[in-house]
Structures are given as structure tokens and as C-alpha cells.
Amino acid sequence: MPHEIAPDAIRKTAGLALARTERLSETGASATLRITGILKFAPDRSESELLCWLEKQLGPAHALCLPRFRDLGEVDGSFVTELEYLGDSTFEAVLANPTRYCAIEPSAVVERVGEILARFGALRVPSDMLSSSVDATLEEIIEAISHNAMRAGSSFIPDADICHRRAAFVPGVCHRDLSAPNVMCGSNGDVRLIDPRTRMPGASAGPPAFGSAAIDAAAFLVSLERKELEGKRKGLPPFALAERFQDIIAGLVEKGAFNEFMFDLCRAHAYSVYAACRCDYCLAIERAWLHDLMRERFEASLCRIV
């Protein structure tokens, strides 16, 4: 939120059609309701514009992958997007305490994410846009890896000729920031994604563009690896979710959504994001081991794309 929103301004956004309403009690002419909705405040309409683009591309599948939304316009100097209430917990919270939050097993959540990626991959890009979509996607990945490598202290730059020659994938939409915190687990068993990005971390900002399911598959796999490493360090029971998701990725490769080189390229990017991060959370003393491990895995992943 760019600045504090006045309560009066928030009240002006009454009539949240997508919000969940629960009647708590009723006495005579009086009633007590709980209305749960999500309002996101931003300095511009970029998030609403991205959601509109995804809705247009995905058609009916949008409601199975992402929240419904409304652009409520400007409120007190900020632009407000109303998002459908999706549930009480992110997948990250489920993995931290699966018995408390989740209506479905963590392995089922991973399966649902795989189904969403399959829906993303089922999109048919117009034939006259195929070549430009492939080129733009690869250039975005190359730029993102190069930028993140520099921030991580590496001089590595992917060879564009090798990437264009060896990478193969079917262009489609993608989330571009798929991780456990961005997967919502509804109390009714629904699984949907929140907070998509127009560009991959490390790439230049720009309008929405087609991409590859390999981007999301690699990012989610690395996110699962991180959560399992953290859980093991805390003594939590293992879920073997990364191993299960690798089976889903193998199925996507077999169906031709992308080839192994494309996935390796995207996995190198996923590691590069964490290796390049310099936030207080990642660099905290108690988490430095994980940051160092991501740097090691980034360096190791580079061997697969040279």
C-alpha cells in the first residue's frame, strides 16, 4: 500500500459483490454479519490490467486458476482491486501446519497446481504469434538469469544462440511467480493462484506477454524444495512433494509442453532468484544456510544449460 488509506475511503468501497458473507447471529430485526473480502491498493491499475489480460486469454478456465476480481477505481489516491475470497491459508502455511489449515492433503494441492499448469498449457496461441512469443519468452528468461547472476556475484550470461536452438516449448500464459505463498488452499478444497506477475523476477517490467509452463513448473519445484529443506531442519515429517511434482513435470515434458532443456533453463532462473535476493529475511543468520544452498544449486544448474 503506497500510503495509509483513510477509513472513510475504505467505506466508500461498500457493496463487495465477491466478498463472502456469513450470518453470525440474528435477534428480532437485528443481525450480525461477517464479510470477508480482499482489497488491494496500488498506485496504478497494473494488477487489474494483468488480471484482465489473463481472464481474456484463459476464458472459462480463469475461474479455475485465479480469483475473480473487480477494478473498483481510485480511492483516496490509490487504485483498488477487489479480489474474490479464496480461503484461509496459503500453501506455505499448510506445509508449516498441515493439520490445522488444509481441507485437502498437501499432495493433492500439488496435483491441483499441476492441473492448473496443464490448463495454462492448453491455451492455443495464434499461429502468427508463435515465433514472436517463443523469441520474447526466451529473451525474458535470458535477461532475468543474467540480471540475477550479476546480483548473486556471478559473471554468467546464458548463450542466447544455444537457448534459442535447444529450448522447445508451447507458448501459453504463465503466473511468473509461482511459489508456496502464492497458492491459496480454500476450506472447500479449492486451489487457486494469487499475485501473478507481468515479468519474471530479474527481467525488465513491461506489458503482459505469453510465456511457458516451464517457468511456473520450475519456480514451484524450487519453492517445494525450499519448504522441504526448511521442514527437515525443523524436524517436520517429510512430504516428498518435490519428488511428486517432478513426476508431474515429466508428464508435461512427455506431452510436449516443453523439453528438458527449457525446464533446466527455467530451473536455473528459479535458483537465481533466491541466490540474488538480499532481503533481511533471506540473509538472516538463522536462514543463511538456505541462501548459501540456493547459490550452490544455481551454480550447479548452470552446467546444464551451457
Residue 4: what pLDDT?
A: 55
Q: Are 246 and 109 in contact (CB under 8 A)?
A: no
pLDDT of 283 above 60: yes
100 and 50 in a common domain? no
35 and 94 in a common domain? no
Q: State how far the Cα of 230 lies from the Cα of 224, in Å rounded to an integer.
A: 10
Domain span at 246: 89-302
pLDDT of 109 above 70: yes
Q: State how far the Cα of 231 lies from the Cα of 243, in Å rounded to an integer.
A: 15
For 163-185, the pLDDT digits (tens) are 999 999 999 999 999 999 999 99
Q: What is the DSSP string of 49-75?
A: HHHHHHHHHHGGGHHHHS--EEEEEEE
- Confidence category of residue 5, pLDDT binned at 50, 70, 90: low
pLDDT of 81 above 60: yes
Q: Grid coordinates in use for 107?
A: 499432495
96 and 61 in a common domain? no
Three-state DSSP at 20 gives strand
Q: Domain count of the chain?
A: 2
Mean pLDDT of 114-123: 92
Give a yes or no: residue 126 inside a domain: yes
128 and 33 in a common domain? no
pLDDT of 6 above 70: no
Give a yes or no: residue 18 inside a domain: yes
Q: What are phi and psi of 5, to 5 degrees?
A: -95, 130
Q: State how far the Cα of 224 lies from the Cα of 247, in Å rounded to an integer.
A: 13
63, 83, 103 - which closes a domain: 83
49, 68, 83 - which closes a domain: 83
Give a yes or no: residue 2 inside a domain: no
Mean pLDDT of 290-295: 95
List the 38-42 sheet strands across, edge first: 38-42, 78-83, 69-75
Check which CATH number belongs to the domain holding 202 and give it. Answer: 3.90.1200
Q: Grid coordinates in use for 299?
A: 551454480
| CA distances from residue 295 to 52, 220, 266, 291 in whole angstroms, order as listed | 36, 17, 15, 6
**pTM for this prediction:** 0.91
Residue 12: what pLDDT?
A: 59
114 and 42 in a common domain? no
158 and 260 in a common domain? yes
